[in-house]
Chains A and B, each alone.
Chain A
Amino acid sequence: MCGLKYTVKEKKTKNILSRNHTLSNSQDIITSADILRTLIRRNSVRVVDVRKEDEYKKEHIKTAVSIPLATVLENDSSERIVQLLEQSGISDKTPVVVYDDTFGALAARVAWTFQYVGHSNTSLLELTFAKWKSYGFETEKKINVFPPAKHSLKENKEIYATYDEVERAKSEQNKILVDSRERLNFLSEHIPGATNLPYTMLGTADSILREPQEIKRFMENRGISIDDEVITYCGSVGTLSGLAYYALRMGGVKKIRLYSKSFKEWKKLGKPIEEFKDANFWDLSAE
């Protein structure tokens, strides 16, 4: 199991920042603010800020390096990603914690990319940057540079899906295709056979992902079992579905892949889509 490996004595506290997860793997996926602060203090973590570089320059979490999502997406060949890791002083064993300023989706996409090239010891910060700051936790303006490190490349193909795998999933048993876009987008059009699990369901105002028990209940409601093989996708580059990828893992799904090229590629390739045009649901939105 990939995930963040560290040893910290957890303080017992009622604060929800240190969550008492019941499922074993949730701590690998999510790092609480308390723990990250401890790791930063001990200098035993690499914090990755995926916001725009300008934002990073203004202020960021103490010790963080900047690897903007755009930089990752620009060229996401495995070699290039490994290079980014090495430039940031991340070696095979360095624990990495990623954060963003949306609701975890950008961080999730970058974290997934790291894990894809073999950096299993990656996790998501439970909070967004804005929240972190609102609690008055440590930030700085200083641009952090670390000595380059060596990182090996071990592609983790099991967590990635191509369009033909998506296509095949439809006819295979126990394969579930999860669309993580918002409800109205899903209703308008989606890949045939997909189940909608909007990213809006996954987090709360206080945390980018809900408690594992809750995610598990959402899965059970939808008939997704932890033994199913799930593929997640969203609208364009795999951010929303990246978050869904981690949410479902937190809910206990063992085999899960991200179709990172998502609906955008699917449509461009002219693959079949399911549309729903018999209701004017967009007119309900008060936007």
Chain B
Amino acid sequence: MKREVLNYPDKKHLSPKSNPRWGKEEETEIFGQNVKLFRKGKISEDDFRRFRLQHGAYGSRLQQNYSMVRIKIPSGEITPEQLEKIAALSEAFSIGSAHVSTRQNIQLHWVQLEDVSEVMRGLVDVGLTTREACGNTIRNVMCSHFAGVCPDEQFDSTPYAKAIARFFLRNPVCQNLPRKFKINFNCCAQHGLVRIADIGLIPVKKDGINGFKIYLGGGLGAASFIGHQLEEFTSEDRLVSTCMAVVRLFDRLGNRENMARNRMRYLVNEMGWEKFQRMVFKERSSVEMTISLDTLIRYKVDSENPSIRQLSNGKKLPLINEKVDINSDPYKRWLHSNVVSQKQNGYFVVFITLGAGDITSNQLRSLAKTIRDYSGEGCARNTPNQNFAVRFVKSNDLPEFYNGLAKVGLANPGALTMTSTVGCSGTTSCNLAITNSHRLAKEIQSKFIELGLDTEDDLRDSSIKISGCPNSCGQHEIATIGFYGGASRIDGTMTPTYTMLFGGRDGEEGMLGRSVMRVPAKRVIATLIKIIEIYKQERSSNESLAMWIGKLINGVVNGKGQIKNLDDIKTALVQTISLPSPNDDPESYMDYGNDIKFSAKTARGECAA
């Protein structure tokens, strides 16, 4: 036998992206050592917690011996070998599934604290890091998953997002901020989360020069705010100095006392926007006067494969826009709700529908293979809807793409519709959770797919997002219909409930949802179905659910119907949300995933270090 056959298959894949090397080997060693010192009582609990969060490991629900390891995916761009590594790490040290988060991180749950350094070590191999993924730092820098392919964008913001991420990672200026700090890039006005970030940026051109429209001081949480526009246009050469100025201001002036009110949005709110804005300009001037060569070198925008951006095979795919219904061929149904065309003629973005962001190790491996086989750019993006987007897929490859994924349960329809429900981790792993938002999101998704709601175009621009407590990790406030978990006494029995919100939205027109009413956990699905039913009776022609809800919250529904404002819909839903007596049906007073009486249990959140 010839020797060659002994060689293990070559895993090196020729991705057009280079390994960005975000991770550092020595940090994994230090983490491992510190865990040991902490176990021996040589580091205080507080110091260790701060250190742990700085390095991307949260404590797990009511079990401080386990961590949720948050892997940053800067700009959401991830390569097949990174996915495969995460698959292997999850299998070995976590639970055999990974979780795509609402901020383009990938999280491994229930990792034993003792193994966190091993996870980090594996991540370093493929260039990833967990550094500054939690704690009072600059968190993962997000970028619209359409950046580079969006028909409405003026230029690709991805390289800028990555350059900013690299500039701030391990930068001394942001190692101990008053609180976490989030930076989000859009591709166009519509796609992205610019209005709910500390710094939100939309790429725009002015007189042929690249630059940004910058929004400051937005963010979700127990109290949420929409960001303010700094100035009409910030040219790209002022991008670093502007961001730096904002971070420095926040570092200096932010509230370090009251943990519940120390995000930058509170500073902006208390100081008043005009004053804050003036201070940013002033700070920026001094940053620009003192900016060092070192700083400029640190910040470097790499150009991204220009060749692939100009690809075109000229083939359109009519099916995407063809009407489908619940009886349509599964492939057509999938095509309709998971595939969109890019600005590059003949190329498509394909979305992989996950359930509340969860994906098994085996599925990750299949996804990696799919990316290698079919993506012209050789990588994928994770999305704030807790899904993946594979881009630069050719139309003729779509059937095979679909078939491959269908075999491993990754070809569910509905990624771009309301059925793809977002749910934070809730009681599956979070210390602050009151309800099992995670499972609820999955239940809604499977029910909606079963009912074929992914095929209804009028529901398409709506979204459902769920958090397990008011902290908004599930981004419920920017959903068409959002929910956050709580506990209420109903008929003398503690019951998991959700506060339902209407009319939130993302993008530049970002808006926070308005609170409508409380719904028992086990009535949420029935309530959603009822809302859709009412909408169908009440709407004027062609009005989408999101449009109808938008009018409802403003009380300007003028159609034929009875339901004209939030009070009307509350009344219409009273029946649906009511529960039988606890003796007749104890289960409706329990949360999803539990067969015992509900009780709200929480522990220290670590949401601020």
| B131 on interface, CB distance cutoff 8 Å | no
Residue of B nearest to A16 (CB): B8
Surface stretch bound by B, among A61-69, A242-250, A278-286 = A278-286
Q: Given A221-B117, A284-B358, A279–B429 Cβ distance below 8 Å?
A: yes
| B96 on interface, CB distance cutoff 8 Å | yes
Interface residues of B in 48-65 (CB under 8 A from A): 60-63
| B574 on interface, CB distance cutoff 8 Å | no
**Cα distance, A54 to B422, chains bound together (Å):** 47
- Which single member of A17, A136, A221, A280 contacts B428 (CB below 8 Å)? A280
Shortest CB distance B436–A (Å): 5
Contact between A286 and B427, CB atoms less than 8 A apart:
no
| A200 on interface, CB distance cutoff 8 Å | yes
Contact between A221 and B109, CB atoms less than 8 A apart:
no
Contact between A283 and B428, CB atoms less than 8 A apart:
yes
Contact between B8 and A279, CB atoms less than 8 A apart:
no
Shortest CB distance B109–A (Å): 5
Q: Given A136-B1, A205-B88, A284–B112 Cβ distance below 8 Å?
A: no
- Which single member of A135, A282, A286 contacts B359 (CB below 8 Å)? A286
Q: Given A16-B8, A136-B5, A283–B96 Cβ distance below 8 Å?
A: no
Q: Given A200-B91, A221-B118, A206–B99 Cβ distance below 8 Å?
A: no
| B151 on interface, CB distance cutoff 8 Å | no
**Cα distance, A200 to B91, chains bound together (Å):** 6
| A182 on interface, CB distance cutoff 8 Å | yes
Contact between B92 and A280, CB atoms less than 8 A apart:
no
| B594 on interface, CB distance cutoff 8 Å | yes
Contact between B35 and A221, CB atoms less than 8 A apart:
yes
Contact between B114 and A284, CB atoms less than 8 A apart:
no
| A222 on interface, CB distance cutoff 8 Å | yes
**Cα distance, A285 to B439, chains bound together (Å):** 10
| B561 on interface, CB distance cutoff 8 Å | no
**Cα distance, A221 to B28, chains bound together (Å):** 12
**Cα distance, A279 to B593, chains bound together (Å):** 9
Shortest CB distance A181–B (Å): 12
Shortest CB distance A263–B (Å): 19
Interface residues of A in 197-253 (CB under 8 A from B): 198, 200-201, 204-206, 217-218, 221-223
| B39 on interface, CB distance cutoff 8 Å | yes
| A171 on interface, CB distance cutoff 8 Å | no
Shortest CB distance A214–B (Å): 9
Shortest CB distance A222–B (Å): 5
| A184 on interface, CB distance cutoff 8 Å | yes
**Cα distance, A218 to B427, chains bound together (Å):** 29
Contact between A279 and B62, CB atoms less than 8 A apart:
yes
- Which single member of A182, A205, A280, A286 contacts B363 (CB below 8 Å)? A286
Chain B residues with CB below 8 A from A218, complex form? 115, 118
User: Which residue among A198, A206, A284, A287 has the maximum number of chain B CB atoms within 10 Å of its CB?
Assistant: A284
Contact between A279 and B427, CB atoms less than 8 A apart:
yes
Contact between B95 and A285, CB atoms less than 8 A apart:
yes
Residue of B nearest to A131 (CB): B8
Task: Annotate A267-287 by CB proximity to B: 1 below 8 A, 0 otherwise.
Answer: 000000000111111111111
Shortest CB distance A192–B (Å): 14
| A15 on interface, CB distance cutoff 8 Å | yes
Task: Annotate B1-34 by CB proximity to A: 1 below 8 A, 0 otherwise.
Answer: 1000111100000000000000000000000100
Shortest CB distance B189–A (Å): 34
Contact between B91 and A284, CB atoms less than 8 A apart:
no
Chain B residues with CB below 8 A from A277, complex form? 596
Chain A residues with CB below 8 A from B360, complex form? 285-287
Chain A residues with CB below 8 A from B99, complex form? 284
Shortest CB distance A91–B (Å): 31
Chain B residues with CB below 8 A from A137, complex form? 1
Contact between A200 and B96, CB atoms less than 8 A apart:
yes
Interface residues of B in 96-110 (CB under 8 A from A): 96-97, 99, 109-110
Residue of A nearest to B431 (CB): A279
- A residues near B (Cβ < 8 Å) are 15-17, 135-137, 182-184, 187, 196, 198, 200-201, 204-206, 217-218, 221-223, 276-287
Return 16 A-B CB contacts under 8 Å, by A number: A137-B1, A183-B95, A198-B92, A201-B93, A221-B118, A278-B61, A278-B427, A281-B61, A283-B442, A283-B593, A284-B358, A284-B438, A285-B96, A286-B97, A286-B359, A287-B360
3 closest A-B pairs by beta carbon, nearest first, are A286-B358, A280-B593, A283-B439
